[in-house]
Amino acid sequence: MAEIISFGEITLDVIAVTPNLMPSESVSLLDRVHYSFGGRGANVALFASNQGIESLLLSSAGKDFVSSGYHQQLKDRGVCCDYVFIDHEGETTPKAFVFRDKSKTYTFFYPGVTELMKTEVEEHIKRNAEGLKAEVLYCTSGLQELNLFLLENMNARLKAYSPGPEITHYSKEELIQLLAVADCLFLNKFESDELRIKLGKSSADLNKDYNLKFHVVTLESNGSLIFEGVKEYFVRRCKPRIVVDGTGAGDSYAGSFLAEYLRSGSLKKAGEVASVVSSFVVEELGCQGNIPTKDQINERLKTY
């Protein structure tokens, strides 16, 4: 049994940096183009594994997942990929194209074989519902119906849901369905604001009204907030050496948070470790460009 099962996309990311993103029908000259491995599901599984937690990735990918070396990297990092359904014939692994300047970020997503998850994952869970168990299930796929299916049917002591930027596409009714079967939430500030507006509830009311054990709101350079019952904890930001790129920092936070929470049972300590880990991630382009070692994490924790 895995300690954490992460369900969500695997992506091959293209991150482009420019001094200024020009208006439509103009040309923006790029300072740098960076190719990296990413995807919310894969990132969370990797950073949980990096903390010494047995993690399993539940996802789909194309043949370039293997040929790019991404498959091998995840396995080398300790992530179980036995439940990554790979289309070896045609379709490609999903791709994220991120264009940013000093003030704006535009992200475009090509779904590739994401649709494969709708059939393969659901059928597998139906056949093996008793065999696939975990301490924590983390659902962050853009496939809302499948998030709901897994949260309702998989066997896990703690069921975490992270809607991601797709939250703007979900109705109030869809979100209520998911909150009813989740134990905790991971949100950034934009997602938290969107959720509160759609539901008409304060952050403090979310836990009480939907019986959540806790929910976490990351605030980029302003730290993070953890809501447990009626309690609220502020976790200050861990200052990075330099800020280069925030892509995937929230994923690294979530994976590291859940790993430490499983280990210590302390939400505050989990937030502190997650803050330290994400401070390394933002120092390079791409979520997986600067994965810290345990020694690096412990050293930075001393001065945090």
- Residues ≥6 apart with Cβ < 8 Å to 200: none
- Residues ≥6 apart with Cβ < 8 Å to 26: none
Edge-to-edge strands, sheet with 95-100 = 32-38, 11-17, 95-100, 105-110
pLDDT at 22: 62
Q: Which helix (H) or strand (E) holds 146?
A: helix 144-153
- 184: tokens are 């905790």
For the question of whether the overall pTM of this predicted structure is more than 0.75, the answer is yes
* All structural domains of the chain: 2-303 (3.40.1190.20)
Q: What are the tens digits of pLDDT across the range 215-240?
A: 999 999 999 999 998 899 999 999 99
Q: What are the tens digits of pLDDT across the range 154-190?
A: 889 999 999 998 999 999 999 999 999 999 999 999 9
Burial class (CB in 10 A: 0-12, 13-18, 19+), 256: buried
- Paired sense of beta strands 184-188 and 214-218, if any: parallel
pLDDT at 23: 67
Q: 67 φ, ψ to 5°? A: -65, -25
Q: Distance (Å, rounded) from C-alpha 249 to C-alpha 279?
A: 8
> Do residues 195 and 172 touch, judged by C-beta distance below 8 A?
no
pLDDT mean by block of 10 residues, the chain; 304 residues: 92 80 68 86 98 95 92 97 86 72 74 76 71 91 90 94 93 96 97 94 90 96 94 95 91 98 97 98 93 96 92
pLDDT at 227: 97
pLDDT at 233: 95
Which residues in 28-73 belong to E strands, given as ranges?
32-38, 55-62
